[in-house]
Amino acid sequence: MATQPTFVGVGGMKCASTWVSACLRDHPEVLLSEPKETSYFLTRTGLPDYMGYFGGIEDYREAGEFTPFYLPNAKLVSKRVHDTLGPVKILVTLRDPVRRYISHYKWILGRREDMPRERFSTLDLRNFERANSIEPRMLEYGHYRDDIEVYIERFGRERIHVMLFEDIRDEPLAEIQRVYAFLGVDDGFEPPSLRERVREGYVPRFELLERAKVQTYFVLKRCAPWSIDRLKQLRLEVLLRKINASKGAPLEVAPEVEDALRAHYRDEVEAMREFLGRELSQWG
């Protein structure tokens, strides 16, 4: 049985980490932190404080967390994780960087005062440039290869397991069972969360409600992190999503923007093809 966390999920962002985490929490041999995203290694280090996220760890074979911000902060986080936990296993979720960018754009839209829905509801070239000036890291978050290399150098290739959003969407049971096998737990288990759809980003219908939700999340995460997953178990997040998902037309993305994104990520996609040893036809 585990005496300290044995794996860390590091992202990327908008790449199905929530679904993977739910399936990990379902497994009787796996303990997932409360909350799922501790963000601990972004600001701190040290095992005693970190163990507070893993009550009852001695009853489980494997234990860990999943914080998507850990991937784009690889240099800082990889050292802190290794210094605190030693050579743990690293879980990575990736996605077509173009679709990842668009999903992230949807998520930001209406949730920030500087990106109101009425001005940014069409992703044309003008808004593309505006959005990148407001949140330049949206483009950076789609550059995975260098960040993964940092984790490989720190932990070794054999301790890195990479999942693709597109594989999770198309073959969810096979993908999560590969994760179970990588962690060394019963890979024949079928998690109840398997039936949950891999969620796409959505444009909020009521911007003030969405901002209030986001602010409440950050306050609870700071002051009562244990409450985050309890609220998810009560499906309050799902209810708010149903209430606040826009009933109008989906985000309109101009073909010129998709072309610009494909051009921007062309070398990145090629690098990931070589790294993963597969064609990545799902990535355009």
194 pLDDT exceeds 80? yes
Percent of the chain predicted with pLDDT > 90: 71
| pLDDT for the residue numbered 107 | 86
pLDDT band at 233 (very low <50, low <70, confident <90, very high): low
**Domains of the chain and CATH, by start:** 7-283 (3.40.50.300)
Q: Residue range 170-175: average pLDDT?
A: 96
Cβ(159)–Cβ(118) below 8 Å: no
First-to-last alpha carbon distance for the chain, in angstroms, is 43
For residue 132, what are the CA distances in angstroms to 118, 135, 265? 18, 5, 15
Write the DSSP symbol of residue 245: B
| pLDDT for the residue numbered 200 | 53
253 pLDDT exceeds 70? yes
Q: Give Cα 100 distance to the centre of its chain.
A: 10
Q: Residue range 133-146: average pLDDT?
A: 96
pLDDT band at 29 (very low <50, low <70, confident <90, very high): very high
Q: Residue range 35-39: average pLDDT?
A: 90
Q: Given the structure tokens 């993977």, which residue do they identify? A: 20
Q: What is the pTM of this model?
A: 0.84
143 pLDDT exceeds 80? yes
| pLDDT for the residue numbered 215 | 62
Q: If we measure between CA atoms, which residue out of 68, 71, 70 comes closest to residue 18?
A: 68
17: number of Cβ within 10 Å: 24
Chain-wide mean pLDDT for the chain?
Answer: 88
- The span from the CA of 66 to the CA of 281, in Å, is 27
Q: Residue range 145-160: average pLDDT?
A: 98
pLDDT, tens digit, 9 for 90 and up, residues 60-107? 999 999 999 999 999 999 999 999 999 999 999 999 999 999 999 988
DSSP symbols for 65-106: EE-GGGTTTHHHHHHHHHHHH-S-EEEEEE--HHHHHHHHHH
Cβ-based burial of 45 (10 A; exposed 0-12, middle 13-18, buried ≥19): middle
